[in-house]
């Protein structure tokens, strides 16, 4: 390899790191906007974020970057596409190509609308007033359609948006995967309904003081491995995880004094995201080998810690004594069996982020279908609340009492995140498939959890997933780790194994 | 005026607003670093801030800016130096000239060292370990000496640094002003000591629950006019106020359960800064007519609300009932007379930000003298703690028990803020002189405070000071408003008027 090639590669890395520095600053602006910013500062914050997004886009479309990539794409450094250098060149080229299809003005308009859309959503949701949210959502959908057309697609406009979150994935594939999952889920949910049994969920609606929830949640997050020296936990109406530096990953949750699982499983979920972020190679920060693969893989990490670990009996065999001490009023006289059944209760519900493991994917299916209709211009935004409620009746048999707890419950659409929801269900599937493999590699995971040992699973995830960054695609990664392509089998098996005894199936 | 001139001016304003946008982002990075950032994120944060500071400096030294200013400096728009346009051109030219004297590398090194210096100070102060702080402080002082030489000065290197905070001010003038003040203060403090009376300060060391302090402090801040829709209040070890947008001004304080005045007067103080920031013309944000005049004038606002309002008897005639209800354990059986004497007790003490109105200026004098010695290379950093303790013995008759509560009590030097302290005493002088004039213009201020009316004073300040931005210099402003140059007379008169009856002078 020539010195010139190495020099070009070093320049490429410096260039990418500088762009990442700007993105990390944008990350802080976004985090602050959602957690701390004074109410009237929103308009100027939108200008700040838009300005940075414009700068970042200009860097991604700069011919200097194209020239460097041109020198490197056919070079020996790019030959092994899974090496750090190969992945760096491949992924930066991919992003460069995509970004160059987007006009600067569209990028800035999308950014500004996203920030203002979230602010409008916050207010509209609090006031249960979809009408006040509708204009900016219409604008967002129009801009997203423009974005899809500019990016181009294989089969349908939605492909272009999906590809931003789950690179290389097609709408038709996801639809097939979710249909397969649904075919197994619907009978399972019906069997559960017909069992006549119900989890004693009233336990979860007792009095759980918020400050104690915060402290208990923080202990649990630290126990599974979220590093508070390199992160923090705050409160927002819509929980999220945001990385803004190699040692700065922040998670949020929301508390309800009368509902225990909301904050706790939210914290475990976001901690799972955070543990992925904190498990990336810091020396590769700002370069593809130091970045997450796809949102589906990201979600596999959050779902694993939230559900496969956090809702396991073994986890609570370790933590339940602590929980009883922390919440004596609610739990002192409650058996572990009852508590375990309650947190694994399956029943159709309104709020996606509080849904049980089984029905959760029906929430996703609803959004996935509505998004496609919105982007394909088959559903006007004005008709969205009605369409939403109709699907909730059809798929889950329930009727949202308000738009705030219906169509406006999620931040995503307000922020222009269209094509994002499907990755949640993909994450559930990835999670179960990875978890089975971890069990094969590490021996009895339950035994480890029962002893409060979560480090072995975390190390396994770090080694097999986090440390690879983007050196493998999501599909390659699942094949490489488990020897099989993605399937809904492990998730269904896991659900039947856990829920079978509870419901006597 | 030609169209070309107007076009150049519009371009100048756009240019300045874009630089201000970057500075406002830097403001958020700095605020977050001191209030929320996870411990291990500091190194990367220094890179983020340094990067932005470099970009900002490059914008300030860009020949495009010089060209625009060249077109405008002799134009009709610049003729009235007190008009918005005139002040804009004048002040941007001043900053352009200064910035162009500083090498880019020095600016970036100063920024990085400032961020890392603050982080080192936080740790060293917590561990009471000056030795661990010394290396970076030595580096800072070396850089500040380079900065002074690069900027140039009239009489001494310290002039160059002082001019950054109090534009146009000379070290020799400040020394003369402080000497005059000292000549009157020392006998006053001696009379108080010899009076044999002491304020019943034990009242202030009773139990004041922190959450109640926070709520009470927030109410007081809102009552005097700090707008929480456009700002917020957080906790830091060193209180500060930071503006980061036309509607985003954030203040901080620190709480001690066993010391009431620390947080409350800190909040009133920072609210005073915040009210200035919030009183600037928002449509001029990012332009000199929308920016504060000088740190001395800024401090006049904080000191006025903290001391001239917040420690007045009239203020407490309005607030004391609320305070007694909020802190019944501490205050239910305490008379307003005793409370008022306690919060106005004068006695030499260790901590500048908790010092009384009279001895406070001696704390400043100590720092002002030590800074000059450090910058003139007459005092090695290694000898600083000894020199500090010696001056506290000489000027205040007390001995700091630790460096944490001695030489390391303030953040300023760690952040490279040399030449800053003097503006605190100038602020005290400005405050009294403005306050006297406000009383003449508005009638009986005490009567207004007694009725909880702080809006009239705030409007007066906004109209006479805030809304002028940088259209007048500090010296021009005090002449324009009070008809007289700055003098220590009003401060001494105010102190004698309040303290005389308490100590029977």
Chain B contact for A376, CB < 8 A? no
Task: Locate A386 and state its tokens.
Answer: 């009605």
The domain that contains B265 carries what CATH number?
A: 1.10.1370.30
* Tally of CB atoms within 10 A around B317: 16
Residue A184 and residue A126 in one domain: no
Give the Cα separation of A225 and A462 in Å (integer): 11
DSSP B239: -
Tracing tokens 């949210």 back to the chain, one arrives at A133
Give the Cα separation of A469 and A69 in Å (integer): 20
**Contact map slice: A 223-252 vs B, CB within 8 A:** 228-232, 245-248, 250
Residue B82 and residue B198 in one domain: no
Give the Cα separation of A242 and A264 in Å (integer): 18
Give the Cα separation of A254 and A461 in Å (integer): 27
* Residue finishing a domain among B70, B100, B130: B100
Give the Cα separation of A409 and B123 in Å (integer): 43
- Judged by phi (left if over 0) then psi (alpha if -120 to 50, else beta), residue B197 lies in beta
Whole-number pLDDT of residue B415: 94
Beta-carbon contacts of A92 under 8 Å, excluding residues fewer than 6 positions away, are A12, A16, A65, A69, A288
* Residue finishing a domain among A118, A152, A186: A152
Residue B188 and residue B327 in one domain: yes
Beta-carbon contacts of A183 under 8 Å, excluding residues fewer than 6 positions away, are none
Residue A139 belongs to a domain: yes
Residue A393 and residue A246 in one domain: yes
Nearest CA to CA, how far is B468 from chain A (Å)?
Answer: 22
Chain B contact for A44, CB < 8 A? yes
Confirm if B363 and B397 have CB atoms less than 8 A apart.
no
Spell out where A148-293 has E strands: 231-235, 241-243, 249-253
Nearest alpha-carbon partner for A412 in A50, A228, A179, A140: A140
The separation between the first and the last C-alpha atoms of chain A, rounded to the nearest angstrom, is: 63
Give the Cα separation of B469 and B347 in Å (integer): 37
Kindly determine whether residue A38 and residue B246, on different chains, have CB atoms separated by under 8 Å. Answer: no
Chain B contact for A39, CB < 8 A? yes
Beta-carbon contacts of B452 under 8 Å, excluding residues fewer than 6 positions away, are B223, B318
Measure the CA angle with vertex A136, ends A269 and A157; round to 5°.
75
CA distances from A433 to A427, A479, B455 (A): 10, 10, 65
Kindly determine whether residue A48 and residue B231, on different chains, have CB atoms separated by under 8 Å. Answer: no
Tracing tokens 């009978």 back to the chain, one arrives at A187
Residue A145 and residue A189 in one domain: no
Nearest CA to CA, how far is A227 from chain B (Å)?
Answer: 10
Nearest CA to CA, how far is A483 from chain B (Å)?
Answer: 38
Tracing tokens 């920016």 back to the chain, one arrives at B291
Nearest CA to CA, how far is A24 from chain B (Å)?
Answer: 8
Residue A62 and residue A181 in one domain: no
Whole-number pLDDT of residue A238: 83
Nearest CA to CA, how far is B268 from chain A (Å)?
Answer: 19
Nearest CA to CA, how far is B29 from chain A (Å)?
Answer: 8
Phi, psi of B357 (to 5 degrees): -60, -30
Kindly determine whether residue A45 and residue B228, on different chains, have CB atoms separated by under 8 Å. Answer: no
Whole-number pLDDT of residue B238: 83
SS3 call for B61 = coil
DSSP A461: H
Residue A147 and residue A249 in one domain: no
Chain B contact for A38, CB < 8 A? yes
Whole-number pLDDT of residue A44: 96
Among B38, B112, B221, B250, the strongest candidate for a mutation testing the A interface, having the largest count of A CBs within 10 A, is B38
Cα A348 → chain centroid: 21
Q: Measured on CA atoms in the order A479, A484, A489, A491, is the torsion positive or negative?
A: negative
Kindly determine whether residue B18 and residue A231, on different chains, have CB atoms separated by under 8 Å. Answer: no
Residue A38 and residue A113 in one domain: yes
Residue A478 belongs to a domain: yes
The pairing of beta strand B231-235 with beta strand B249-253: parallel
Nearest alpha-carbon partner for B140 in B167, B103, B106: B106
Chain B contact for A43, CB < 8 A? yes
Residue A405 belongs to a domain: yes
Count up the domains in chain A and report the number: 2
User: Quick one: closest CA in A to B35, which residue?
Assistant: A36
* Residue finishing a domain among B100, B132, B163: B100
Whole-number pLDDT of residue B237: 80
Chain A contact for B34, CB < 8 A? no
Whole-number pLDDT of residue A106: 94
Kindly determine whether residue B39 and residue A231, on different chains, have CB atoms separated by under 8 Å. Answer: no
SS3 call for A250 = strand
- Judged by phi (left if over 0) then psi (alpha if -120 to 50, else beta), residue B225 lies in left
Among A40, A51, A278, the strongest candidate for a mutation testing the B interface, having the largest count of B CBs within 10 A, is A40
Give the Cα separation of A147 and A161 in Å (integer): 8
A vs B, Cβ pairs < 8 A, gives 87
Report mean pLDDT in 10-residue bins for chain A, 505 residues: 91 98 97 95 94 95 97 96 98 96 92 92 96 97 97 95 94 93 93 95 97 98 98 92 98 96 96 98 98 98 98 98 97 97 96 91 95 94 97 92 96 95 96 98 98 98 98 96 96 97 95
Kindly determine whether residue B248 and residue A47, on different chains, have CB atoms separated by under 8 Å. Answer: no
Chain A contact for B28, CB < 8 A? yes
Kindly determine whether residue A246 and residue B36, on different chains, have CB atoms separated by under 8 Å. Answer: no
Task: Locate B257 and state its tokens.
Answer: 């359960």
Give the Cα separation of B298 and B272 in Å (integer): 8
Confirm if B13 and B287 have CB atoms less than 8 A apart.
yes
Nearest CA to CA, how far is B122 from chain A (Å)?
Answer: 15
Give the Cα separation of A295 and B301 in Å (integer): 50
Q: Measured on CA atoms in the order B435, B438, B439, B445, is the torsion positive or negative?
A: negative
Whole-number pLDDT of residue B268: 98
Instruction: Pick A51's closest partner by Cβ from B21, B32, B247.
Output: B21
Confirm if A302 and A292 have CB atoms less than 8 A apart.
no
Residue A158 belongs to a domain: no
Task: Locate B120 and state its tokens.
Answer: 């080192």
Q: Which chain A positions have a beta carbon within 8 Å of B40's beta carbon?
A: 229-230, 247-248
Q: Which chain B positions have a beta carbon within 8 Å of A18's beta carbon?
A: 51
Residue B241 and residue B360 in one domain: yes
SS3 call for B327 = coil
Chain A contact for B355, CB < 8 A? no
Instruction: Pick A21's closest partner by Cβ from B32, B41, B47.
Output: B47
Residue A162 belongs to a domain: no
Give the Cα separation of B200 and B197 in Å (integer): 9
Phi, psi of B193 (to 5 degrees): -60, -45
Residue A157 belongs to a domain: no
Q: Which chain A positions have a beta carbon within 8 Å of B20's beta carbon?
A: none
Helix (H) or strand (E) holding B252: strand B249-253
Catalytic positions of A, written as ranges? 270
Nearest alpha-carbon partner for B174 in B455, B488, B500, B438: B488
Rg (Cα) of chain B, in Å, rounded? 23
pTM across the whole model: 0.93
Q: Which of B147, B270, B357, B371 is catalytic?
A: B270
Whole-number pLDDT of residue A237: 80
Helix (H) or strand (E) holding B241: strand B241-243
Instruction: Pick A38's closest partner by Cβ from B22, B29, B231.
Output: B231
Task: Locate B231 and state its tokens.
Answer: 């700002």
Residue A295 and residue A213 in one domain: yes
Beta-carbon contacts of B333 under 8 Å, excluding residues fewer than 6 positions away, are none
Instruction: Pick B37's closest partner by Cβ from A29, A51, A248.
Output: A248
The domain that contains A54 carries what CATH number?
A: 1.20.58
Chain B contact for A465, CB < 8 A? no
Beta-carbon contacts of A326 under 8 Å, excluding residues fewer than 6 positions away, are A212, A215, A216
Kindly determine whether residue A37 and residue B228, on different chains, have CB atoms separated by under 8 Å. Answer: no
Residue A77 and residue A138 in one domain: yes
The pairing of beta strand B241-243 with beta strand B249-253: antiparallel
Kindly determine whether residue B18 and residue A51, on different chains, have CB atoms separated by under 8 Å. Answer: yes
Chain A contact for B37, CB < 8 A? yes
Residue B147 belongs to a domain: no
Task: Locate A487 and state its tokens.
Answer: 């399937």
**Overall size of chain A counted in residues:** 505
Tracing tokens 């599974």 back to the chain, one arrives at A224
Residue A222 and residue A291 in one domain: yes
DSSP A104: H
Measure the CA angle with vertex B472, ends B365 and B30; round to 5°.
60
Q: Which chain A positions have a beta carbon within 8 Å of B36's beta carbon?
A: 36, 232
Confirm if B21 and A52 have CB atoms less than 8 A apart.
no
The separation between the first and the last C-alpha atoms of chain B, rounded to the nearest angstrom, is: 63
Confirm if A409 and A367 have CB atoms less than 8 A apart.
no
Residue A238 belongs to a domain: yes
Q: Which chain A positions have a beta carbon within 8 Å of B229's beta carbon?
A: 38-40
Kindly determine whether residue B38 and residue A229, on different chains, have CB atoms separated by under 8 Å. Answer: yes
User: Quick one: closest CA in A to B45, which residue?
Assistant: A245
A11: containing domain: 3-152
Report, as ranges of residue numbers, the positions in chain B whose pLDDT lies below 50. Answer: none
Q: Which chain A positions have a beta carbon within 8 Å of B250's beta carbon?
A: 38
Give the Cα separation of A497 and A311 in Å (integer): 13
């Amino acid at each position: 390899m020539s010195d010139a090639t190495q020099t070009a590669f070093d320049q490429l890395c410096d260039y990418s790191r500088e762009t990442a520095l700007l993105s990390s600053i944008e990350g802080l602006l976004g985090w602050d906007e959602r957690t701390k910013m004074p109410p009237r500062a929103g308009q100027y914050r939108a200008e700040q974020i838009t300005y940075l997004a414009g700068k970042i886009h200009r860097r991604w479309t700069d011919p200097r970057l194209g020239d460097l990539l041109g020198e490197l794409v056919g070079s020996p450094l790019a030959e092994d596409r899974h090496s750090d250098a190969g992945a760096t060149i491949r992924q930066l080229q991919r992003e460069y190509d995509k970004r160059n299809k987007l006009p600067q003005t569209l990028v800035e308009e999308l950014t500004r609308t996203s920030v203002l859309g979230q602010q409008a959503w916050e207010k509209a949701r609090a006031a249960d007033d979809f009408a006040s949210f509708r204009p900016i959502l219409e604008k967002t959908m129009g801009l997203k359609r423009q974005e899809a057309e500019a990016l181009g697609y294989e089969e349908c406009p939605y492909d272009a948006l999906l590809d931003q979150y789950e690179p290389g994935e097609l709408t038709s594939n996801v639809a097939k995967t979710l249909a397969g999952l649904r075919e197994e889920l619907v009978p399972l949910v019906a069997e559960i309904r017909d069992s006549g049994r119900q989890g004693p969920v009233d336990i979860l609606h007792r009095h759980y003081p918020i400050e104690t929830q915060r402290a208990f949640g923080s202990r649990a997050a630290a126990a599974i491995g979220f590093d508070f020296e390199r992160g923090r936990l705050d409160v927002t109406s819509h929980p999220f995880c945001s990385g803004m530096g190699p040692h700065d990953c922040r998670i949020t949750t929301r508390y309800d004094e009368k509902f225990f699982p909301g904050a706790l499983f939210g914290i475990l979920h976001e901690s799972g995201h955070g543990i992925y972020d904190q498990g990336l190679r810091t020396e590769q920060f700002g370069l593809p080998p130091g970045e997450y693969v796809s949102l589906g893989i990201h979600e596999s990490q959050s779902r694993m810690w939230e559900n496969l670990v956090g809702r396991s009996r073994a986890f609570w065999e370790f933590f339940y004594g602590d929980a009883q001490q922390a919440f004596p009023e609610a739990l002192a006289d409650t058996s572990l069996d009852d508590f375990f059944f309650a947190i694994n209760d399956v029943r159709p519900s309104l709020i996606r982020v509080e849904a049980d493991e089984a029905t959760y994917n029906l929430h996703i299916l609803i959004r996935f279908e509505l998004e496609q209709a919105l982007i394909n211009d088959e559903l006007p935004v004005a008709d969205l609340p009605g369409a939403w409620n109709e699907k909730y009746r059809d798929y889950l048999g329930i009727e949202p009492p308000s738009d705030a707890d219906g169509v406006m419950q999620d931040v995503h659409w307000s922020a222009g995140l269209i094509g994002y929801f499907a990755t949640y269900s993909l994450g559930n599937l990835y999670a179960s498939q990875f978890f089975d493999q971890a069990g094969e590699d590490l021996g009895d995971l339950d035994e480890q959890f029962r002893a409060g040992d979560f480090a072995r699973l975390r190390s396994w995830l770090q080694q097999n997933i986090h440390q690879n960054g983007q050196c493998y695609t999501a599909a390659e990664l699942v094949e490489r780790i488990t020897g099989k392509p993605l399937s809904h089998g492990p998730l269904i098996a896991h659900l039947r194994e856990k829920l079978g005894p509870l419901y006597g199936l």
